[in-house]
């Protein structure tokens, strides 16, 4: 094959979840390579073996850099790009003060397109190649992010955020319009190129039971779609839900009663879960999405990463409630939160959560998040000596984990040496 590109550097390949099997689930090749062709990975292994298998391949040599799957951000709000790191109190205050006024601006298609492009370029600079994002109630905000992702060749999952109560004028739809708009957008974008539509009620407090039922009906008609929403982020939010749904057994039941619980569901945060909720989540196989910088920034609480041994758990920035676009910073925050719960996460756990773990939560591990043959060739190349502080720590390392951990804890976009999307190297300076 003469159209093969051989990417050289260190490689890490996971044969299983290190959260279940330990760091031995990963295979490290100090002199490794990834062979790609036609936008997909052909093989990963020792460089000498792949050079022999593809003697005519074009080569890109990244030296001591680490070749990883592109990072996968499983929960974000791209319309909040411009308000990231805004000072706030707690969740509901933050929504009313910053989020809702900014989301109103997305009634302007030009503004939506501007932010969508800016957001995806920021992700690429930070090594993120796939994202699951909420949009606003405006269909044009959904078109904007799908169009921007298509232009960049990125895999993306996104959906119109639906709200028909407890939101300002200009940010409310209805049960019927939520169904109609979502169905129209789904028909237009789902499965087009690398796009996936996600049915997206914001959270129970901003949807009437009628709207939740309408979206549950839409999901029943398109069960291959993902469904994303929020669950049990803060105690005062849970109390609010209890007052709005007095007959519900718990927060999760407000979704379950309306057809919004199943294997393809993704619940953001899920910090303060009741025993019944944990049991039902396990039974249905729904995914939880851990948003550590958001949980600390808004003071929500400490997620139990031990749940990742029982059900799919992805990792996410939750921008702009989260305080960083970087999955490296997100991994560092996940480590710190786990420490506060007495749960020590190994570097292997963190990298896996930011790649294959998030891909599994999005039911896309057959396409993204791994270096396995057949996966789409989305790659992030990490410089493990990107700053003097990191370089001096890496120089003392005796193992790949000791070399990698300083970049997880202290790295930023300077650590992203290169990014490949769909088999092509892309600029990280846009």
Under a CB-based contact definition with an 8 Å cutoff, are residues 123 and 328 in contact?
no
pLDDT in tens, 101-142: 899 999 999 999 999 999 999 999 999 999 999 999 999 999
Sign of CA dihedral 251, 255, 257, 258: positive
Q: φ and ψ at 353, to 5 degrees?
A: -60, -35
pLDDT in tens, 299-324: 899 999 999 999 999 999 999 888 99
Region 48-61 average pLDDT: 97
Q: ∠ CA(111), CA(112), CA(116), 5° rounding?
A: 120
Q: Distance between CA 280 and CA 112 in Å, rounded?
A: 37
Closest CA to 38 of 82, 1, 7, 72: 1
> Is residue 186 predicted with pLDDT exceeding 80?
yes
Q: Distance between CA 88 and CA 348 in Å, rounded?
A: 34
Region 336-362 average pLDDT: 97
pLDDT bin (cut points 50, 70, 90) of residue 86 is: confident
Superfamily of domain 5-69+370-426: Urease, subunit C, domain 1 (2.30.40.10)
Q: With pLDDT > 70 as the criterion, what percentage of the chain qualifies? A: 98
- 3-class state of residue 162 by DSSP: strand
Put residue 372 in one of left, alpha, beta given phi > 0 → left and psi -120 to 50 → alpha: beta
Mean pLDDT of the chain: 96
Q: Domain spans of the chain?
A: 5-69+370-426, 71-361
> Is residue 94 predicted with pLDDT exceeding 90?
no
Looking at CATH, the fold of the domain delimited by 71-361 is given as: TIM Barrel (3.20.20)
225-238 in b/e form (b: 16+ CB < 10 A) is: bbbbbbbbbbeebb
- 3-class state of residue 160 by DSSP: coil
Q: Distance between CA 138 and CA 38 in Å, rounded?
A: 36
For the question of whether the overall pTM of this predicted structure is more than 0.95, the answer is: yes
Q: Distance between CA 215 and CA 199 in Å, rounded?
A: 7
> Is residue 417 predicted with pLDDT exceeding 90?
yes
For residue 52, with 0-12 CB atoms within 10 Å meaning exposed, 13-18 middle and 19 or more buried, which class applies?
exposed
Sign of CA dihedral 270, 351, 293, 171: negative
pLDDT bin (cut points 50, 70, 90) of residue 1 is: very low
Structure tokens at 385: 């000596």
Under a CB-based contact definition with an 8 Å cutoff, are residues 380 and 393 in contact?
no
Q: Distance between CA 225 and CA 66 in Å, rounded?
A: 33
pLDDT in tens, 400-416: 999 999 999 999 999 99
Adjacency order of strands within the sheet including 416-421? 40-46, 26-37, 5-14, 58-69, 379-382, 416-421, 424-426
Put residue 380 in one of left, alpha, beta given phi > 0 → left and psi -120 to 50 → alpha: beta
pLDDT bin (cut points 50, 70, 90) of residue 428 is: confident
Under a CB-based contact definition with an 8 Å cutoff, are residues 195 and 150 in contact?
yes
Q: φ and ψ at 186, to 5 degrees?
A: -60, -45
pLDDT in tens, 368-404: 999 999 999 999 999 999 999 999 999 999 999 999 9
Residue 427: its pLDDT value, please? 84
> Is residue 44 predicted with pLDDT exceeding 70?
yes
Region 252-276 average pLDDT: 98
Under a CB-based contact definition with an 8 Å cutoff, are residues 355 and 18 in contact?
no
Largest CA distance in the chain: 68
The answer to whether domain 5-69+370-426 and domain 71-361 are alike in fold is no
Closest CA to 378 of 191, 12, 124: 124
Q: Distance between CA 1 and CA 267 in Å, rounded?
A: 43
């Amino acid at each position: 094959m003469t159209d093969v590109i051989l990417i050289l550097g260190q490689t890490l390949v996971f044969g299983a979840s290190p959260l279940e099997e330990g760091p031995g689930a990963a295979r490290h090749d100090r002199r490794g390579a990834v062979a790609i062709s036609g936008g997909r990975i052909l093989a990963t292994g020792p460089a000498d073996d792949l050079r022999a298998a593809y003697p005519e391949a074009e080569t890109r040599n990244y030296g001591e850099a680490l070749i990883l799957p592109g990072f996968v951000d499983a929960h974000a709000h791209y319309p909040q790009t411009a308000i990231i790191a805004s000072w706030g109190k707690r969740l509901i205050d933050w929504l009313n003060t910053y989020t809702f006024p900014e989301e109103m601006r997305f009634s302007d298609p030009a503004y939506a397109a501007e932010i969508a492009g800016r957001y995806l370029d920021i992700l690429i600079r930070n090594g993120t190649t796939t994202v699951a994002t909420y949009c606003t109630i405006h269909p044009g905000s959904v078109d904007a992010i799908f169009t921007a992702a298509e232009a960049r060749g990125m895999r993306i999952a996104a959906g119109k955020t639906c709200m028909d109560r407890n939101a300002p004028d200009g940010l409310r739809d209805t049960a019927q319009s939520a169904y109609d708009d979502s169905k129209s957008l789904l028909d237009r974008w789902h499965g087009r190129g690398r796009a996936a539509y996600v049915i997206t009620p914001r959270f129970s407090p901003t949807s009437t039971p009628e709207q939740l039922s309408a979206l549950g009906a839409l999901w029943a008609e398109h069960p291959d779609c993902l469904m994303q929403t929020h669950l049990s982020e803060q105690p005062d939010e849970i109390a609010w839900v209890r007052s709005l749904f007095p007959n519900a057994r718990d927060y999760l039941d407000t979704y379950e009663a309306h057809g919004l619980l199943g294997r393809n569901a993704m619940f953001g945060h899920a910090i303060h879960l009741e025993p019944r909720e944990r049991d039902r989540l396990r039974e249905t196989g729904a995914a939880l999405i851990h948003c550590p910088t958001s949980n600390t920034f808004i003071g929500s609480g400490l997620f139990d990463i031990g749940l990742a041994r029982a059900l799919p758990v992805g990792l996410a920035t939750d921008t702009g409630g989260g305080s960083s676009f970087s999955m490296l910073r997100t991994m560092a925050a996940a480590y710190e939160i786990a420490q506060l719960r007495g749960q020590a996460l190994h570097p292997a756990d963190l990298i896996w959560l930011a790649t294959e773990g998030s891909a599994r939560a999005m039911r896309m591990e057959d396409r993204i998040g791994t270096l396995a043959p057949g996966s789409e060739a989305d790659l992030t190349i990490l410089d493990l000596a990107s700053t003097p502080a990191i370089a001096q720590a890496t120089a003392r390392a005796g193992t790949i984990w000791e070399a990698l951990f300083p970049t997880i804890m202290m790295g930023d976009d300077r650590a992203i040496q290169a990014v490949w999307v769909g088999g092509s190297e892309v600029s990280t300076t846009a």
